[in-house]
Chain A
Amino acid sequence: MRMPVGADLVLHEEPDPESVRNIGPALGRVIERTARRWNTPLAIPLMDLRLEKFDLLARIGVSARDADAFHFTAPLDDPTLATLCAAVAGSSCPGSTARDEALQYIASIPGLFPIGMAIGPFSLVTRLMADPISAAAMAGRGQAPEDSEDVRILFQCLQVAEAAIHRSVRSQIAHGARAIMICEPAANTSFLSPRQLKSGSSIFERLVIEPNLRLKAVLDKGPCDLIFHDCGELIDPMVEAFAHRLHPVILSLGGSRKLWEDARLVPGDVVLYGNLPTKSFYSDGAMPIEEVVRRTGELLANMKACGHPHILGSECDVLSVPEARDTILKKVDAMMAVTAPADLARSS
């Protein structure tokens, strides 16, 4: 099987893409066309990782317009925490409503597998704070919320992020999602120090694995499968933890990983997805089409040789860049057309 995370490319074939984002049935048709275009039953939606933040902050009166740039700069008081964490569903932003309605539309189409999408807890935390890296590093050094205001905000943000994401996935499951792609691109070596991890810090466990295990429990209850996506720079123990501890049905990794080497770290029943460097597809200089074809062939051959289940695809969502749309599409199509050349197996 092969497919890009390509709904954004198809969305931008619409005369007014920004409106379609907020209209459920129209968005559903875009996702359906995306699946048909690349001949896959997996209906992967837009990777819009802003929605949970919009819905969360709306609870305290921050408009979607202001939400993107909003950060918590002081510890949250108890009433605010209670409002943000309340399990009861609040009003959703137009994008979230459209996402759910699109899922319902996809779920009604025989032969298509409805997939939801949500930001991961830690990645949402990093969008709720101005400097999450320092706060995580201080927590990783053992500073407790009582010792540091930054650490206190960090763990409060984690608490509200988890609540927001749980509400989001429950709603998506209620609208027909049978799997949800949880995107944790911030769980990487820029945000979480490998030096700390090596010295025995539990910070990766506390900020990434434990919250995602709690999220997985919500999905399991659905029942709904976990597709876990992290296109950040990772070290092997991170990949192992995602694969073994979270045990997703599909693990999607960024272009910096060699999937055939990562296969060693991943149980045989976790499908690896990816991971052509589609973020570079806009540039013929950085990524000529011949290189796309070569890398695709290499990946296919090596995955075949290692025998690990694999879906060929993009390293992340493939965004439609205004001046490079045709260039990107040409390379995505080239990637999808490559067959595995046997002589490239184990070539790198």
Chain B
Amino acid sequence: MALNQQLYDAVLNGDAKKAHAATVAAIAEGDAPMELIQESMVPAMKEVGRLFECEEYFVPELLLAARAMKSAMELLKPLLVASGQRMAVRVVIGTVKGDLHDIGKNIVASMLEGSGFEVIDLGTDVSPQSFVAAVEQRKPHVVCMSALLTVTMPAMKTTIDALQTAGLRTQVKVLIGGAPVTSQYAREIGADGYSENANAAVGLVKNLLAGEAA
């Protein structure tokens, strides 16, 4: 089986060890890192997303696939940096101030990374000021905010307001998600979008950026 097919299968099946081994072998054979990402890994994650949408895969399968992708990416990233290449889209993500839940945020971060985006994870309990600083310094295309609790949701609005006050709001798309969050709430607080799961978040980021480019 061709190495790029092996890598595709390993990501699709969420097998990090095989993904790592296939990537090592592909690099040794001189395959271009960006080609491996674009022709094997991203299509595999796309298929993972499709299987998730039709309820053949669930969150655990998504995470294992993202983990397999990550194990390959860890080998490829230094090569990309050395060759002056970088991922096209940068996303800043974090759980908002007062909220320490990180599992949902981690799933979204893994899926975004697995889909070929550069992800800067600010962690949990992230203050509006920290989001603002990250946007100023890292210049992301998208900011994703997560909250699990109804009591911490208002921090999403505070953060959007802080981006507005800092004059940065128009520079980024803001996406929100988390158990109590709804699309209605996203509209109410001036976010650009809401996603109810990690796979949809990937599609939403792509759609928002495609809309911006159009």
Taking Cβ atoms with an 8 Å cutoff, the residues of A that contact B are: 68-69, 126, 130-134, 136-138, 140, 189-196, 279-280, 282-283, 285-286, 319-324
Contact = CB atoms under 8 A, between A and B. Distances in A.
Contact of A189 (B58, B124, B180, B182): B58
Most buried by B among A133, A196, A282: A133
B103 A133 contact: yes
B64 interface: yes
Contacts of A194: 58
Contacts of A133: 59-60, 63, 103, 107
B185 A193 contact: no
Most buried by A among B58, B64, B179: B58
Contacts of A190: 58-60
Interface stretch (B4-12, B20-28, B147-155): B147-155
B185 A137 contact: no
B190 to A, nearest CB: 14
B106 interface: yes
Contacts of B192: none
Contacts of A319: 149-151
B180 A280 contact: yes
A278 B88 CA distance: 41
Interface of B: 14, 56-61, 63-64, 67, 100, 102-103, 106-107, 124-125, 149-151, 153-154, 179-180, 182, 184-185, 188
Given A133-B63, A137-B64, A189-B59, A283 B184 contact: yes
Contacts, number: 78
Contact of A195 (B56, B124, B125, B153): B56
A283 B182 CA distance: 9
A195 B35 CA distance: 31
17 contacts: A68-B100, A126-B103, A130-B106, A131-B63, A134-B64, A137-B14, A189-B59, A193-B59, A195-B56, A279-B150, A279-B180, A282-B180, A283-B184, A285-B182, A321-B153, A322-B154, A323-B154
A193 B61 contact: yes
Nearest to A69: B100
Contacts of B61: 137, 193, 195
B106 A140 contact: no
B151 A320 contact: yes
Nearest to A235: B58
A66 B209 CA distance: 38
A82 to B, nearest CB: 28
B58 A282 contact: no
A309 B150 CA distance: 30
Contacts of A279: 150, 179-180
A133 B67 CA distance: 11
B185 A322 contact: no
Contacts of B56: 195
Contacts of B151: 319-322
A247 to B, nearest CB: 27
Contact of B58 (A130, A193, A280): A193
A153 to B, nearest CB: 15
A145 to B, nearest CB: 17
A126 B67 CA distance: 18
Contacts of B124: 69
Contact of B106 (A131, A286, A321): A131
Contacts of A323: 154
B160 to A, nearest CB: 15
Which 6 pairs between the two chains have the least Cβ-Cβ distance? A137-B60, A285-B184, A193-B60, A190-B59, A286-B182, A68-B100
Given A192-B60, A321-B150, A132 B103 contact: yes
Contacts of B64: 134, 137-138
A136 B125 CA distance: 26
A134 B179 contact: no
Most buried by A among B57, B67, B150, B180: B150
Nearest to B13: A141
Contact of A196 (B60, B106, B188): B60
Contacts of B14: 137
Nearest to B188: A285
Contacts of A324: 150
Contacts of A322: 151, 154
A114 B56 CA distance: 44
Nearest to B107: A133
